[in-house]
Amino acid sequence: MKIVSVKSVYEEIKKNKKAINNVITHIRKGDLQGFTPPSTLVGEFNYPKVSVGIIFTTDENAFLYDSPKYWVKTGYDVSKIFSMRTTLVNARDKVDVRKPEERFMQDVSFATMSKNDLSINFKLSKTYEKGLVSETVEPHGITADLKSFRLNENFRIERPIEKVYYDKDFKATEAIDYLYKNGIDDNKINKILSVGALGVKRRLVPTKWAITAVDDSVGKSIIDEIKTFEAGEEYFIKTGTVLGNHFVFLFLKGKWSFELVETWNRDINSLVTGESDYELYSGRKDYVQNTAGAYYAIRLAVLETLKKMKKQFSVIVIREITPEYFAPLGVWVVREGARKVLENPNETREGIQEVIKLAKLRLLYPIDIENKSKLISLKEKQKILSDF
């Protein structure tokens, strides 16, 4: 679902034009020093020969520019995050995804895996005064062609990351699961996967694909565990808003199943409801078509909650995208937003109709949940009793 408000994005860029122009003037010198992470960016255009960018800032407090958990915890708003990200520089070069072992990519990998912020010297050529807005990947500022770069200090790599990087017997899915279980942030894991630093037969993975791959892989691992738990007997909801995304979670008595319904709201007269995506107890065999990466990100947050509860439920999520979310900041918004909202208290009801009625009261904009939700429709028609 397209969620960009072009007017608002333009106005935000215009508001930050002075800061952006200062960065452009600075990088036109060609030789400069920057700090990273924030991150790296692997494109998908012209695959398998893609653009690989080292995203950096001239601010020594580099960690502030790529810290989703910190942003949510400390209450950053959409405007502040978007403004910070538009002043970054994406220094890019062309790379064959099948050659992650080349010296350039090895240095990119070390910068990506590093626990500490790194000072880097860059030689840049052409500058493109146009930031990229994507629904999946955070804004990454001004793009410039990279001639060369040099790490100015030693990088430090956490032991679990070091293990999967040097042990090439780890399959990529096993490495992802290992890193997640050893406390490595998923925002970090998808970047490591993206630069081709995981797996047996290694290759670069476009950032957009890597984000979903990590959410899906970790989610599937947790689903296997969830299915060993008893089915929940309650009906309850959890609600809340983070960064202009309002969530209503319906937990319904029964075995594991999941559905995401999205609505895009500019005002009461312009409510757009997209088609939902769902999975039954038996799972999905194909990639979701309507809700894309948000599906796997929110599903992961739900599964983490069920794991803590040691129960399985049929869970329906309604994500309302409000005018506050005027510019897409990346899939991390729904993952971290869902995690935060799922910490909120339960509101319990006696049955499915009562919990649906309560959910409707908690929605910011009215929708017919019974008709929009495939799971509720299937449940009420009793066509899949064995799967609930």
pLDDT at 2 over 50: no
Per the rule left: phi > 0, alpha: psi between -120 and 50, beta: everything else, 259 is beta
pLDDT at 388 over 50: no
3-class state of residue 261 by DSSP = strand
pLDDT for residue 38: 66
Say what percent of the chain tops pLDDT 90: 56
pLDDT for residue 103: 84
Token duo for residue 334: 């729904």
Find the distance separating the first CA and the last CA of the chain, reported in whole Å. 28
Tell me: the pLDDT tens digits for 31-77? 777 888 768 899 998 999 999 999 888 888 888 999 999 999 999 99
> Residue 6's pLDDT band (boundaries 50, 70, 90)?
very low
114-118, 182-186, 202-206, 350-354, range with the lowest pLDDT: 114-118
pLDDT for residue 35: 83
> Residue 14's pLDDT band (boundaries 50, 70, 90)?
low
Spatial separation of the C-alpha atoms in residues 216 and 224, rounded to whole Å:
13
DSSP lists the bridge partners of residue 347 as 237
pLDDT for residue 151: 85
Tell me: the pLDDT tens digits for 174-217? 999 999 999 999 999 999 999 999 999 999 999 999 999 999 99
- Residue 38: half-sphere exposure toward Cβ, Cα within 13 Å: 27
Spatial separation of the C-alpha atoms in residues 171 and 93, rounded to whole Å:
28
pLDDT for residue 149: 86
Helices (H), the chain: 6-15, 17-27, 68-74, 78-86, 103-113, 159-166, 172-181, 186-194, 207-226, 292-309, 332-341, 352-362, 369-372, 374-381
Task: Tell me which of 311 and 8 has the higher pLDDT.
Answer: 311
pLDDT for residue 131: 52
For the chain, which residues make up each domain, given as ranges?
6-151, 159-226, 230-387
pLDDT at 7 over 60: no
Token duo for residue 302: 């739900």
Q: Nearest 5 degrees, angle CA 52-CA 56-CA 62?
A: 140
Say what percent of the chain tops pLDDT 70: 86
Other Cβ atoms less than 10 A from the Cβ of 64: the count is 15
115-124, 252-261, 283-292, 318-327, range with the lowest pLDDT: 115-124
pLDDT at 353 over 70: yes
Mean pLDDT of 116-122: 85
- Identify whether the C-beta of residue 241 lies closer than 8 Å to the C-beta of residue 322: yes
Which residues, 6+ apart, have CB-to-CB distance to 263 below 8 Å? 271, 272, 273, 274, 318, 319, 320, 321, 365, 367
Mean pLDDT of 328-335: 92
pLDDT at 163 over 50: yes
pLDDT for residue 3: 45
Using CA atoms in the order 196, 198, 202, 204, what is the torsion angle rounded to 10 degrees?
A: -20
- Identify whether the C-beta of residue 256 lies closer than 8 Å to the C-beta of residue 336: no
Average pLDDT, the chain: 87
DSSP string over 86-114: HT-EEEEEEEETT-TTSHHHHHHHHHHH-
pLDDT for residue 4: 47
Q: Which helix (H) or strand (E) is 31 found in, with range?
A: strand 31-42
Task: Write b or e for each residue in 204-219: b if 16 or more Cβ atoms lie within 10 A of its Cβ, otherwise e.
Answer: bbbbbbbbbbbbbbbb
